[in-house]
Structure formats: C-alpha cells, structure tokens
Amino acid sequence: MSTKLWSTSYYVLAGGLAVLFLFPLIWTGYASVAPAGATNQQDGFGFGNYASLLDYDAGLGRYLWNSTYVSVLTVAFTLALSVLGGYAFARFTFRGKDTLFIVTLAILMVPYSTLLIPLYSMLGDLGLRNTLTGLALVLTLYQLPFAVFMMRISFEAVPKEIEESAMCDGAGTFGVLTRIMLFAVWPGLITVGLFSFLAAWNDFIAPLILVSEADKAVLPVAIANLRQQSMGAIDFGATQAGVVVMALPCLVLFALLQRHYVRGFMSGAIKG
Amino acid sequence: MRYSRKLAGALYAAPVAVFVLVFFVAPLLLVGRMSASDWPLLAGDLGINMPDNYAGIADNPLFWPAVGFTLKYTGIVVVLLIGLSLLLALIVADRRKGTGFFRTAYFLPTTLGLASASLLFFGFYSPAIGPLDPLLEALGADPVSWLGTPTAALWSTVVLIVWKFAGFFMIILLVGLQSIPPDVYEAARLDGANRWQSFRHVTVPLLRPALGLVLILSVTGSLLAFDQFFILTKGGPDNSTVTVVQLIYREAFQRFDLGAAAAISVVVLAALVVINIGQLRALRKDHQ
C-alpha cells in the first residue's frame, strides 16, 4: 500500500473515531442550553435548565455543597491514612507488616456491593448512616488499596541518604516525614488526591444506599432522582444541565493534571 | 528520647490497621453472619436461620436470569472493549501529526463519572431530546426505540460502556506498547515480517501483561455492573436487564430483606474470587 493511501486511511479512521467519542460530550453541552419542549428552556438558547436545577428540591447549591464536602473529606481521609501507612510500609519493619499490606490490597478483591450491605447496618449502629462523614469513610475504604500502594512506592523511591542526614541533625522520624519526605513525594500526593477526589465526586451506589435523606443527597443521586420529578414527565433539559455541572470539575482537573492521570494508570500497569 | 524504630513503624501503620479492621474486616465477617440470619431491613437481626437465605437464592425467579444476563453482557463488553481499546492504542502509539488530539478525544469520556455518563446517554437515547432520531429521519430511516426492547436496551448500554471506558484501557495498552523496545520491531522487519506479521508475532505476545490487566479489570467491572443499568434501563424492559448487583440492591432496599441480599453478596464474592484466580492462573500459564 502506498504511503499516501496509508496516511489518508489512517486519518479517516482516527478522525472518524474522534468524532464518535466527542459527539455525545458536545451534544450534552448543546442540549443543556438548547430550546426543547417540556423543559425550562422554551425559546432560543439560554440557561433556563440551569435555573430549574437551582430551584429543584433542596437546590443545586445544596447538592454541590454535599458533593464537595464528601469529596474533600474523602481526599483528606485518604491522604492522611495513605501518607502515614505508606511511610510505615516503605521505611520501617514491624510485626504484621506484610499481613496488613496484603489485607489492604485485598479490599480490591471484594465487590463494593458485598460490603455495602453490612456497612449499611454497621453505620447505623455507629450513628453514621445518613451522614456525609459516614459516606466519606466508606468511599475512603475503596481508595485505600491504590493510595497505600502509590504512597509506598513514592516513599520507597526517595533516596535514604536525605533522611539519614536529617536524622543526624537530630530530627525524629515524624520530623523527617513532615519536613522532608512530604516534599519529596508530592507527585504521589497529587495523584492520590486526584483519584480519590474523582472517585468520591462520581460515586453513585454508596450514596444511593447509605444516604437516604433528600437534602443530604450528592449530585449524581440528586440528578438521577430529578428524572422522576414533575408529575411523571421527565425534565431532560435539566438532566443534561446536571450532567454538565457534574462533568465540569472532572474536565478542569483533567486539563490541569493530565500528567498525574497517566502516572496513576502506569502504577496500575505495574501492579498487573 | 529515641524510641525504637519498630514501635514507630507500628504507630505510623496503626491508623490504616484500625481503619481496615473496622471498615473492611468487620463488615466482611458481618456479611457472613447476615447471610446466615433472618435480618429484615427495619427490624434488624432476628437470629440465625441457616440455610434459608442460601436456599432462597435458587428459588428467586430473578436470580438465574440475572446471572445469565450479567454473563452475556460481560462477554460482549469484554470482547468489544479489548478490541476497540487495542485499536485506539495502536492509532495513537506512534507520534505523528494529530496523535495528541486523538489521545485526548478518546480519553475525555473516561474523565466523566459512570453515573454522569449514564445520565448523558439517558437523554441521548430519548425520543424527547436525543439527536439520534432526527439523524435517522434525515437519512430517511424510521426512529428506533433505543431502550424499548431487551436487545436494544442491552446494546445501547454496551455502547455507553464502550464509549466511557475504551480511552481508559487505551492508556493502559499504550503504556504496554511503549515498553516494547523498538529494536524488536527492527529485527522482525529485517526478517521480512510485514505489518500484520509483526503485530501478530511481536506486539501481541509482548503486550500480554497489559492485555491481562485490561482483561481482569473489564471482566470484574462488567460482572459488577450496576450504575449504568440502574440509571439507563432500570432493569427493564420486563426485568430483561437486571444484573446480579441490581438483584442484591432489590432484595435489600425494595424487598427489605438484608439476609437474602447478604447471601447473594457472599455468592458473588466467592464467584469473583474463583474467576479472578482462574484468570490469573491462565495468564501466568500463558506467560511461561
């Protein structure tokens, strides 16, 4: 086959696929502002669908706050646990070290739904059911295998000499961690933070099961419920406006932190 | 002042240990106990009733259809996802004009959450505002009920999932492709291999670890499908798209029977462990 023909067919195929992948994304942005029957955007283009989200039930502001609160709390829990744990696994020997590491990774083997049934009952006993804090703790659990693994290899990659010279200057292990190691592992911190934020922001089944009060709903659950509103008629315009609101932070984070995305996948590939 | 390093290590690991114990080991033990107990959603633990919950699984009229549907869905998704993501990875592997744009275009759907993507396609497939029917009309074809029949609902969901995840698996395969040293291809070319032969006999074998990871992730993810069917098809039409995890949800929160839901959960866990061990063994054997 001639080079010219090869090159043309390459771009036809690659470009055609790009159109197919981008089309639904462009369509949802368009549909959220385009006029349509049975929506709040009847004449011409505008933000009527977003306005109906603002007034829907507890209001978009409330759901945005709930989602942000849960996501930030999940990131904080995940970072705190994985920094301390990763430091311990990378730099210390202690009894039960290997067992603890394997049990932490074993979380990946257990399906979400298997744990949500007993967690629903347990959170009730602990007074954490129907709370955003309880939800964040459960979301943290599923971030832990990746986060602890990632922080362990991040700490292991730091040269030991840096630490030893600080030790000689009289710093304790905690001082070494906070004053030196944290700065050396910051790419790992960003990757763990990014992935746990996205996972918490987008999770659906855990908040669906663990949080039933309407004004504590997170965005995905609230938007999914929105469809059953307004006397059986589905407000498709408001639904697509909701999709855009949920997608925007993800797209912004992707644009800002592209390199860290790939870094996370790379460590996934290493695991395999 | 200097305490022993062993103690320090244990102290740093303690938060993870406590957390894993409370939120992972304890619920894992509890789900076993719940599966052996009469445990209505509201009343709570009413005592052991072994083996009622497990015996009830086989009598559940939705169980075998759900297992059958989940397996069929998994088979379709895994084949299409691996095929398409491999094609995408090959398209963007070599640096040439436009590959950066193509990589981003294929990857963008991955940045969305699964629930968001499902809600997007819920509108996309709807006759009310979806773009597909006007498109068909312009081509002179009749409108299609994208979620109206069992077959249409299955394939519409498959399209959503392949769209959402192909870019994710493309990246994993891309990392695998880039770890293949260029001189291996050079050697194959000198031996007279054409493009297809060097793909078949060089790329595929050396890509095996990455393909194995993609296989395990896509099989596990599809067997545990929930969001996409809960949002897009609600298990319909006529319960034709109820997956196993949806069945667990229904038993627990629509039929208020946590004991029955726990029993199905334990069976799913056992099946998944067996399937994953089987896949890992097969991949390892292949590798040797």
Average pLDDT, stretch B235-252?
93
Burial class (CB in 10 A: 0-12, 13-18, 19+), B88: buried
Domain assignment of residue A27, yes or no:
no
Domain assignment of residue A23, yes or no:
no
CATH of the domain at A121: 1.10.3720.10
**pTM listed for this prediction:** 0.92
Query: How many domains does chain A contain in total?
Result: 1
Compare all CA atoms of chain A with the CA of B42 and give the residue at the minimum distance. A121
* Strand partners of residue B48: B37
Per the structure, the complete domain to which residue A148 belongs is given by: 57-228
The partner residue sitting opposite B113, judged by closest CB among A13, A87, A220, is A220
Under 8 Å between Cβ of B89 and B177? yes
Assign A1 a pLDDT band (cuts: 50, 70, 90). low
Average pLDDT, stretch B31-41?
95
Average pLDDT, stretch B119-130?
93
> Could you tell me which of A226, A108, A68, A55 has the C-alpha nearest to residue B216?
A108
Per-residue confidence (pLDDT) for residue A238, from 0 to 100: 92
Alpha carbon of A10: minimum distance to chain B alpha carbons (Å): 8
Under 8 Å between Cβ of A39 and A238? yes
Assign B214 a pLDDT band (cuts: 50, 70, 90). very high
Report in angstroms the alpha-carbon separations of B236 from B4, B152, B204, B229, B242: 61, 11, 39, 9, 7
The partner residue sitting opposite B115, judged by closest CB among A27, A141, A204, is A204
Q: Does residue A231 surpass a pLDDT of 70?
A: no
Domain assignment of residue A177, yes or no:
yes
Tens digit of each residue's pLDDT (9 = 90 or more) over A150-168: 999 999 998 888 888 887 7
ipTM of the complex: 0.92
Domain assignment of residue A233, yes or no:
no
Domain assignment of residue A7, yes or no:
no
Q: Where are the domains of chain B?
A: 63-241
Per-residue confidence (pLDDT) for residue A267, from 0 to 100: 61
Burial class (CB in 10 A: 0-12, 13-18, 19+), A198: buried
Question: A18–B102: do the CB atoms touch at under 8 Å?
Answer: yes
Interatomic CA distance for residues A72 and A182, integer angstroms: 19
Chain B CB contacts of A14 under 8 Å are 91-92, 98, 102
* Strand partners of residue B257: B40
Interface size, chain A vs chain B, as Cβ–Cβ contacts under 8 Å:
268
Interatomic CA distance for residues A182 and A83, integer angstroms: 8
Question: B116–A220: do the CB atoms touch at under 8 Å?
Answer: yes
Q: Is A186 on the interface with B (CB under 8 A)?
A: no
Choose the mutation target among B5, B6, B20 for the interface with A, i.e. most A CBs under 10 Å: B20
The partner residue sitting opposite B24, judged by closest CB among A34, A87, A141, is A141
Alpha carbon of B76: minimum distance to chain A alpha carbons (Å): 19
Per-residue confidence (pLDDT) for residue A24, from 0 to 100: 97
Q: What are the backbone angles phi and psi of residue B11, rounded to the nearest 5°?
A: -65, -40
Question: A103–B24: do the CB atoms touch at under 8 Å?
Answer: yes
Mean pLDDT of chain B: 92
CATH topology for the B63-241 domain:
MetI-like fold (1.10.3720)
